[in-house]
Structure 1
C-alpha cells in the first residue's frame, strides 16, 4: 500500500513540503517576537514621552 490516499507514489514535491513542515514554524515565531518587541517598545515610548513629563497627578 502507498502512503497517499489516491494510491499514487509520493512525488518529490510532497517530500519537499514534508521537509519544510518538519523544520517547524520558525518564521512565524520570529514574526510574533518582532511584533511583540515593537508593541512593548511603543508602550515604553508612550510612557516615557507622555506620562512621565506630566508628573504625578494629585
Structure 2
C-alpha cells in the first residue's frame, strides 16, 4: 500500500490530533447564527410590542 513508513507515522499523528479545525469552524458558525438571531429578536420582534 504505502512504501514510506515515515509518511504512515505522519498520517497517524495527524489523525490523532483530531478534528480541531472542523470543531472551531462549527463553533464560529454557531456563534454567528445565535448572534444574528439575537440581533433579529431585539431589532424586529421587541420594537413591534406584544402580540394581541
TM score, norm. by length of structure 1:
0.77
Query: Once superposed, what is the RMSD of the aligned Cα atoms?
Result: 1.5
- Alignment: residue pair count: 52
> Counting helix residues as a fraction of each chain, which structure ranks higher?
2
Q: Return the TM-score normalized by structure 2.
A: 0.84
Q: Give the match for residue 6 of structure 2.
A: 12
Larger Rg: 1 or 2? Answer: 1
Moved over 4 A (4+): none
Matches within 5 A, 1:1-58: 6=1, 10-58=4-52
Q: Unaligned stretches of 5+ in structure 2?
A: none
- Give the distance between the partners of 2:45 and 2:10, measured in 1 at CA: 52
Which runs of no fewer than 5 residues in structure 1 stay unpaired? Answer: 1-5
